[in-house]
Amino acid sequence: MRRKKALRGAAGCPYSMLNRRAATLTVENNLIVTLHVIFAVKEFCPQAQIVKIGTMGEYGTPNVDIEEGWLEVEHKGRRQKFLCPRQASSLYHTTKIMDTDLLWFYIRTWKIRATDLMQGPVYGLFTDECAEEERLLPFFNYDEIFGTVLNRFVVQAVAGYPLTVYGKGNQIRRHLNIKDTLNCVRLSLENTGKKGELRIFNQFTETFTVNELAERVQRVGNELDLNVKIQPMENPRVEAEEHYYNPAHTGLLELGLEPHFLSDEVLREMMELVMKYRDRINHDAIFRGVKWG
Amino acid sequence: MRRKKALRGAAGCPYSMLNRRAATLTVENNLIVTLHVIFAVKEFCPQAQIVKIGTMGEYGTPNVDIEEGWLEVEHKGRRQKFLCPRQASSLYHTTKIMDTDLLWFYIRTWKIRATDLMQGPVYGLFTDECAEEERLLPFFNYDEIFGTVLNRFVVQAVAGYPLTVYGKGNQIRRHLNIKDTLNCVRLSLENTGKKGELRIFNQFTETFTVNELAERVQRVGNELDLNVKIQPMENPRVEAEEHYYNPAHTGLLELGLEPHFLSDEVLREMMELVMKYRDRINHDAIFRGVKWG
């Protein structure tokens, strides 16, 4: 029962690709819940700002620069500003495109307000506020279904499991530390958007290829005597392994975000904490072979 | 019970704006059902072509020309073809944007095939095949919740109810005869799209403003001694009442569609059939005051 509840509350890209049941749950969770929140705001507190966590995955990896949410399109001599064209590479990310469209529809119609934070994969185990008190540590997903790539690599390194690089490993993704995630939400709340506005920020601080991440984890892990191996494998996902990528991300910096970049020291801190609890790692969860096809 | 079933099966733009329950049902119906059809095709008949009825309402009324589904976007010197940017003016139409995105995601991922017919409001009561046999007449919605504008005006004219023009009445919409609707589906089935392709056709034959439709119904109605009145009223919808509008619609003509245009004769035939059954008109359904706000 507890496991079922966890699945209902969680959002995940490989999870959404598991089977029809998981796909249905993903659509229902992301859209019906967003719909109900919008109705609740309209009915009970129309001045409130909705802050929604979106995802950089909505944009996919287009051959054009990615702006922060909006694009002025010129076509046959006429112009209009639209939501950036988006095409994602999992059902989960596709439903995030949809809930952005849902928000934008009701914002136009009811003049409510919202900020959509297009977040990259988050890594990290703690913020400064909870680092000293382990009972306050947040949820940590390191498994194939819900874990993000760097968290997975860190646990794989500690567990003696070869790092699972999918395909060529040249997929570029944008990352941020969990500390920055929470600051982005705080900055969005403290600097409210306007009535009738869908404000969109691209929420990440750095971009890395999967190979770059694997090599850093290997280097730092080996300094900790972990003997880390990298194991490229056939890509279970349908995604571009070589692609152009140039996403803007200035909005949150302008609001005052001070990024925590990924240093060897940050990686070492993560690994040392995971090493402390290495006997709790569930090896069966590390790789479960979910395929997109 | 019968009424409830009808609502579950129906799709409607004012219906989706009624309340939270109707909104939830609209999201569930359009997305979960589309999702299940996609899974069924993948599992049992991956070669099959899905023909989905979309809607011209997905595009809304942008300030740029509307192409047939796809737009080559140029941005900072780079180019990519995307689904046309779309923003709709009801929740129903927004969920149709979403189910197009859903189809397009699984087509990219699973290389299935589909045709999405972006249909304008359909008018008419019969096709040539069923005109002689009234038991075969299709479902006819003339009420405010599910009826399309011309069907509503025809019934209002016969019922002696003033034609309900919303706002300035300069909203431009694209229309087609129910005979053309069915031919468009047939042509799409007979000329299958390619594997891995989302083929999109804009399915309409003519554009009219709401005022033009009202004036034509009034003119033809008065020839039939109906004494038709036009009653402009405050627009219950949130929509542009004056706007640029230039949608392409060549794809189905190239496949061989021979349009049935809206002539006075066509209108007269519709009105005469409705007049024959005027005592069955439910006056309470004609106007129910659904507001977008």
Q: In this complex, is the C-beta atom of B248 within 8 Å of any C-beta atom belonging to chain A?
A: no
Task: Indicate the pTM of the whole model.
Answer: 0.94
Q: Is A292 a domain residue?
A: no
Q: B105 and A83 in contact by Cβ < 8 A?
A: no
The CA distances from residue B60 to A3, B84, B118, B181, in Å, are 43, 11, 12, 20
Q: In this complex, is the C-beta atom of B24 within 8 Å of any C-beta atom belonging to chain A?
A: yes
Chain A residue with minimal CA distance to B71? A75
Chain A residue with minimal CA distance to B26? A32
| DSSP conformation letters of A215-262 | HHHHHHHHHTT----EEEE---S---SS----B---HHHHTT------
Tokens of B267: 């209108």
Distance from CA of B50 to the nearest CA of A (A): 18
Distance from CA of B52 to the nearest CA of A (A): 18
Q: Is B293 a domain residue?
A: no
Q: Is B216 a domain residue?
A: yes
Interface-testing mutation among A28, A43, A75, A78, with chain B (most B C-beta atoms within 10 A): A75
Q: Is the Cβ–Cβ distance between B15 and B7 less than 8 Å?
A: yes
Neighbouring-strand partners of residue A175: A206
Give yes or no: A55 in active site.
Answer: yes
The number of folded domains in chain A is 1
Assembly ipTM:
0.94
Q: Is B218 a domain residue?
A: yes
C-alpha span between B55 and A161 (Å, rounded): 50
pLDDT tens column, B10-65: 458 999 999 999 999 999 999 999 999 999 999 999 999 999 999 999 999 999 99
C-alpha span between A56 and A268 (Å, rounded): 26
Catalogue the active-site residues of B: 55, 92, 96
Closest CA to A60 of A248, A249, A247, A210: A247
Q: Is the Cβ–Cβ distance between B27 and B40 less than 8 Å?
A: no
Closest CA to A101 of B89, B75, B24, B105: B89
Q: A20 and B31 in contact by Cβ < 8 A?
A: no
Q: In this complex, is the C-beta atom of B102 within 8 Å of any C-beta atom belonging to chain A?
A: yes
Q: Is A291 a domain residue?
A: no
Q: Is B189 a domain residue?
A: yes
Q: Is the Cβ–Cβ distance between A267 and A213 less than 8 Å?
A: no
Q: Is B201 a domain residue?
A: yes
Give yes or no: A96 in active site.
Answer: yes
The CA distances from residue B155 to B150, B210, B269, B286, in Å, are 9, 15, 13, 8
C-alpha span between B25 and A3 (Å, rounded): 28
Q: Assess whether pLDDT exceeds 70 at residue B154.
A: yes
Range of the domain at B108: 2-285
Tokens of B12: 């409607």
Q: Is A122 a domain residue?
A: yes
Q: A78 and B94 in contact by Cβ < 8 A?
A: no
Q: What is the pLDDT tens value at each position of chain A, 293 positions in all? A: 333 433 433 458 999 999 999 999 999 999 999 999 999 999 999 999 999 999 999 999 999 999 999 999 999 999 999 999 999 999 999 999 999 999 999 999 999 999 999 999 999 999 998 888 989 998 899 999 999 999 999 999 999 999 999 999 999 999 999 999 999 999 999 999 999 999 999 999 999 999 999 999 999 999 999 999 999 999 999 999 999 999 999 999 999 999 999 999 999 999 999 999 999 999 999 988 889 98
Q: A78 and B63 in contact by Cβ < 8 A?
A: yes
The CATH number linked to A166 is 3.90.25.10
Closest CA to A198 of A120, A119, A105, A93: A105
